Structure 1
């Protein structure tokens, strides 16, 4: 078999089908991968679940009180071990910041004393969640607590 370089340069048959074969192989590979991922159990645990805060009550009056904040995952299930941080928004807190950790029911109890500024009728307290290390995140804004006069 003595092939010359000039003969190979003139042969265009190998290049004609190459792009089509690559596209077909790619589509078949992606389809097979999606089928395999659906068959494997627990693949969804690789993604981080967004946490949400559910303060109770979510509307309060100025003065000392206990405030419960429930940390829930994307399915609404409680999450234990979450650090709940309550910070002043447009309303004030006498202690500046309140911090508590959620129990096995996903609830953190905070003793707070919200205050409004002079001539202010309402204000907010901001809730931030610090998830335990693992598969949780807190990227979205959480439900805050509304402080109203009267």
Structure 2
């Protein structure tokens, strides 16, 4: 019985390097296709919402605002709930309103500013309508509040 050792083996691994290169190239190409597919699914399924308040600058007294909820192309979204809360300006309480068929909500706000505070902001968030593929994950347009003094 002949005993073989690795040091005495004269057979080379001739086909192995090219097979590894081919497997690596095919694997990277497959991974790229899968990542593009997964990335495309998320962007097709969800539409980010924003708000368009009118007016965009108000003073620190009671003010009526009209707020449109819009999609990325400017299309208005009906039945969304707009939530106004204090940013650097203060509101007595959180105020909510639902958008009508035209995608517009009416809010009445009473912002106040702190002592020696010349300006502040009111923040908005949106609760999308049920059953739609909408989301409000990013920051929305704010209203600037300036002091009357």
Cα contact 1:45–1:135 (8 A) shared by 2 = no
What is aligned with 2:98? 101
RMSD over equivalenced CA pairs, Å: 3.3
Which sections of structure 2, spanning at least 5 residues, go unmatched? 1-10, 38-42
- The offset of 1:22, in angstroms, is 6.0
What is aligned with 1:66? 64
When the two structures are superposed, what TM-score results if normalisation uses the length of structure 2? 0.71
- The offset of 1:136, in angstroms, is 0.8
Distance 1:127 1:135 in 2: 20
Change (3 A) 1:121 1:22: same
Distance 1:19 1:127 in 2: 55
- The offset of 1:17, in angstroms, is 7.9
Distance 2:24 2:53 in 1: 52
**Stretches (4+) displaced over 2 A:** 12-30
Change (3 A) 1:146 1:28: closer
Count of residue correspondences: 138
- The offset of 1:19, in angstroms, is 5.9
- Within the candidate set 51, 54, 57, 1:53 is matched to 51
When the two structures are superposed, what TM-score results if normalisation uses the length of structure 1? 0.70
